[in-house]
Amino acid sequence: MNARLDRRLVTAGLGVTVAQLVTLWADHTPARLPVPLTCPGCGHPYSEKAPLCPTAAVVRPLLRRRRHETHPDVLAPLTPNQLLDLTGNRLSTALPAEVTR
Ligand SMILES: [Zn+2]
């Protein structure tokens, strides 16, 4: 599978809502440890150089900036690992193997 931008992101463009960003983040980041070798949403192979798939790389800065726009409940669908990957400084897909596997 070729890792490319999620069609939902392309279609929504600049009009993307926070709820849509949350759904995309949930689909394109590991729900829990140990993290898979590839993105569950698009098959992007995780590596130290590319710990985010193309979709997650676009969604992360947008969602980090905009998550306060709406009720905090909008983040409820995210697992603890997805929330940490979003709001923390660490990315589970960039953590050393002994921590994540
Ligand atoms: Zn992905």
Centre of ligand 1 to C-alpha 73, Å, is: 23
Asked if the model's pLDDT at residue 99 lies above 80, the reply is no
Instruction: Give the chain's end-to-end CA distance (angstroms, integer).
Output: 24
Centre of ligand 1 to C-alpha 30, Å, is: 10
Asked if the model's pLDDT at residue 83 lies above 90, the reply is yes
Centre of ligand 1 to C-alpha 1, Å, is: 11
CB 23 within 8 A of CB 41: no
pLDDT 10s digits, 43-59: 999 998 999 999 999 99
Cis peptide before 51 (omega within 30 of 0): no
| pTM, rounded to two decimals | 0.89
Instruction: Please list the residues that pair with 45 across neighbouring strands.
Output: 38
- Predicted confidence at residue 31, as pLDDT, reads 97
